[in-house]
Amino acid sequence: MSSKHSDIEITFFHVTVRLVDGDNPFEGRVEVWHDGSWGTVCDDDWTLKEANVVCRQLGLDGASSAVEGGVFGEGSGKIWMARVKCFGNERRLSDCYFPGWEIHSCMHFEDAGVICMQVRLTGGSNPFEGRVEVFHNGSWGTVCDDQWTIEDANVVCRQLDFEGALKAVTSAHFGEGTGNIWMVDVNCVGNERILTECKHQGWGKHNCGHSKDAGAICIIPVRLAGGSNPSEGRVEVFHGSSWGTVCDDYWTIKEANVVCRQLGFAGGALSAITSAGFGQGRGKIWMDNVDCDGNEGRLKLCYHAGWGQHNCDHVDDAGVLCIPVRLAGGGNPFEGRVEVFHNGSWGTVCDNRWTLREANVVCRQLGLDGASSAVEGGVFGEGSVRLIGGSNPFEGRVEVFHNGSWGTVCDDQWTIEDANVVCRQLNFEGALKAVTSARFGEGTGNIWMDDVNCVGNERKLTECKHQGWGKHNCGHSKEAGAICIIPVRLTGGANLYEGRVEVFHRDSWGTVCDAHWTLKEANVVCRQLGFEAGASAAVRSAGFGEGIGNIWMDEVNCVGHERRLIDCNHLGLGKHKCDHSKDAGVICIPVRLVIGRQIAKLQGRVEVFHNGTWGTVCNDDWDIKDANVVCSQLGFVEAVQTPIPYVYGTGSGQIWLDNVNCVGNESSLAECDHNQWGTHDCSHFKDANVVCAPGNTSSLDAV
């Protein structure tokens, strides 16, 4: 195979990745740049998770395939990485665990490769339909619908690993795109592997506008049959030109969740049904012994015995009950525009008489405890904003929702006035700082806004002047961010995670009265401040000293999962029946468990809060006694395991503790013997981990 180097290369700090010897720029052998030279990656443990990281690092949406066995030819020189283990959400391959540079037992015939997605569907209500967009010359662009037929749509769908196309869609049915129109007069025979192999006028040559953007609806490779409505039924998969069922061996809520999310039910599954609960199918039994991690995009990506390989009959057909309600357009999975599934399609709910009672029903239907707020007025629609990549909810990279997808904002002319609008739109008091140069990490996909110029009194960022949607002259390294005014703080404590609770309102700080002050309210305060494990105690009677000035809140009553204290029920800001001798306080839990970059509950990498920042713990001398203290501090009964390092990903930043030696009865990890804070001789590849046993110990409801 001739040497063809990809024209897609991207540099992050000192690490570069490229694809080599593929038939096009979107596939090839993975090579990384380290210590002045290119080297390959061994295919040990090489999966779609690692391939996705590589492709996203190259600016693409993800991978369609992880390739092993030197399929793209054997490299030469160094083998830089082996046994790479990614969670899948890392920004670059070097953020994933691997034993170290050039530590391996491989030969070049084991070089890893990837096939990245160079076509995508956007604007649809589910992953198998949408406006067709192709990646060329470093950016995504649309396809004009002149001569757009089912043959063209078939190529797109098969390229995305579907069985084929159900329909070729024209006239911007899935919304008008922005930016380049890359292809026109596409003419596929139908057997091409990728859309760019089809005849067309040439890149960027066209005579149409975005009102003629082409789309596709792909054959859904999974369906539900035998149910009383479209959100439930017997699971059937399409393979080899026919439908067949799935055996219920190992069929659990994890597998059911994958099926439901694949069908567009973002809330996942309510129940996994076994023993042909929706009636027996007939014909093929395509899958058996299905075993999903739970985060796969399609059922076919889960482990199974092999197509048509099974030891069951149709009395064992598997089924699902999907949740026919979802939240869309929110900044996280717990908020958003309410959409319901009816008559085969998703639709919205009008906000007439929309109250907390209705919102509670929605949240409980999604498996949550209840709602903290009922939101009206299209807040989660076009033009909504969110903060991403920060260590807490009040800081991050600014992203805006437009044309069905989230995109970033360039930092040209980004000032405190612009950040103020963002923060107020998110219901904060305002901005503490306007942040530039992608301080909260680089985003991906569209850069929606540039040269934003707000007066400062706008209700939404989209009301400010800017260049126009998608018009910019910057890259993701120049993305804007904001740090919003934290509307709550702790004062009077001996450290940063305890103290008297004060809230910010009308340009001044004030206290909170302790009437009805319990662990639920304390948990909200602590999580709002970034202590995801919540509070260890709710403190009453001015336990951290009496405040001065305003008493802003009284008779606070939280459900317990609100994001901010101000979202809880209370008498009204400034209304109270107490004095400062009743000021409320909290003691937050300064330890947390993390998997990858996500906060976890029962297991994960141990991180502790010290000197205003989170940091990890080195696993030197780390044993079950140390783990027991962590789990007890988090409110669990005990630890059951201390997994080897890197299992939950590597941390970043400070390594706060090393050589921890607990007796086992300490109330916090900081009370155990250890080196001085920040003194260590290890790297993040030795971060300590724990697995806690389910079951809570009692915390101090009020002291």
Is 5 contained in some domain? no
Please give the structure tokens belonging to residue 505.
Answer: 């309102």
What percentage of the chain exceeds 90 in pLDDT? 43
Domain that holds residue 267: 222-323
Is 373 contained in some domain? no
**How far is CA 512 from each of CA 452, 552, 602, rounded to the nearest angstrom?**
38, 6, 32
CA distance 244 to 258: 17
Closest by CA to 42, choosing from 115, 97, 107, 91, is 107
Q: Phi/psi of residue 385, each to 5°?
A: -125, 160
- Of 99-108, 343-352, 536-545, the one with minimum mean pLDDT is 343-352
Average pLDDT, the chain: 86
**How far is CA 32 from each of CA 49, 87, 517, 538, rounded to the nearest angstrom?**
17, 19, 55, 51
Partners of 513 in beta bridges: 583
- Of 78-92, 101-115, 539-553, the one with minimum mean pLDDT is 78-92
pLDDT at 611 exceeding the cut of 80:
yes
Please give the structure tokens belonging to residue 168.
Answer: 């070729």
Please give the structure tokens belonging to residue 578.
Answer: 């107490």
- Residue 445, class by beta-carbon neighbours within 10 Å (0-12 exposed, 13-18 middle, 19+ buried)? middle
Residues 614-646: tens digit of each pLDDT: 899 999 999 999 999 999 998 888 888 887 776
pLDDT given for residue 12 in this prediction: 33
Partners of 512 in beta bridges: 553
CA distance 48 to 65: 6
Secondary structure of 326-383 in the HEC alphabet? EEECCCCCCCCEEEEEECCEEEECCCCCCCHHHHHHHHHHCCCCCCCCCCCCCCCCCC
Residues 240-261: tens digit of each pLDDT: 778 899 999 999 998 998 999 8
pLDDT at 295 exceeding the cut of 70:
no
pLDDT at 403 exceeding the cut of 80:
no
Please give the structure tokens belonging to residue 537.
Answer: 């105690």
Sorting pLDDT into bands at 50, 70 and 90, what band is 368? Answer: low
Q: Is the domain of 664 the same as that of 580?
A: no
Selected residue with higher pLDDT from 566 and 547: 547
- Of 125-129, 331-335, 476-480, the one with minimum mean pLDDT is 331-335
Q: Is the domain of 154 the same as that of 189?
A: yes
CA distance 8 to 117: 13
Beta strands of 35-128 (E only): which ranges? 37-41, 63-67, 78-81, 113-116, 119-123
Which of 376-390, 639-653, 666-680 has the highest mean predicted lDDT (pLDDT)? 666-680
Q: Is the domain of 481 the same as that of 509?
A: no
Is 379 contained in some domain? no
CA distance 693 to 642: 12
Q: Is the domain of 623 the same as that of 689?
A: yes
Instruction: Identify the CATH number of the domain in which residue 684 sits.
Output: 3.10.250.10
CA distance 262 to 256: 10
CA distance 239 to 221: 8
CA distance 408 to 427: 20
Is 42 contained in some domain? yes
Q: Are 398 and 476 in contact (CB under 8 A)?
A: no
Partners of 187 in beta bridges: 199
The domain tally of the chain equals 7
Residues 141-186: tens digit of each pLDDT: 999 999 999 999 999 998 887 878 889 999 999 888 888 899 999 9
Q: Single out the residue in 339, 366, 393 at which a domain terminates.
A: 366
Q: Are 669 and 628 in contact (CB under 8 A)?
A: no
Q: Phi/psi of residue 499, each to 5°?
A: 155, 180
Is 571 contained in some domain? yes
Closest by CA to 523, choosing from 566, 561, 486, 568, is 561
Is 701 contained in some domain? no
Residues 411-446: tens digit of each pLDDT: 999 999 999 999 988 877 789 899 999 998 888 778
In the DSSP assignment, the letter for residue 552 is E
Q: Single out the residue in 485, 504, 519 at which a domain terminates.
A: 485
Residue 70 has a CB neighbour count (10 Å cut-off) of: 19
pLDDT given for residue 2 in this prediction: 37
Q: How far is CA 14 from the centre of its chain?
A: 26
Contact residues for 168 (Cβ-Cβ < 8 A; gap 6+): 148, 149, 150, 152, 153, 214, 215, 216
Q: Is the domain of 317 the same as that of 238?
A: yes
Q: Is the domain of 167 the same as that of 196?
A: yes
Is 10 contained in some domain? no
Is 167 contained in some domain? yes
CA distance 54 to 82: 14
Q: Are 267 and 306 in contact (CB under 8 A)?
A: no
Q: Is the domain of 503 the same as that of 565?
A: yes
Residues 12-52: tens digit of each pLDDT: 333 478 999 887 778 899 999 888 889 999 998 898 889 98
Residues 84-93: tens digit of each pLDDT: 988 776 778 8
Q: Are 607 and 587 in contact (CB under 8 A)?
A: no
pLDDT given for residue 333 in this prediction: 64
Q: Is the domain of 595 the same as that of 583?
A: no
pLDDT at 119 exceeding the cut of 80:
yes
Closest by CA to 623, choosing from 609, 639, 637, is 639
Q: Single out the residue in 430, 459, 485 at which a domain terminates.
A: 485
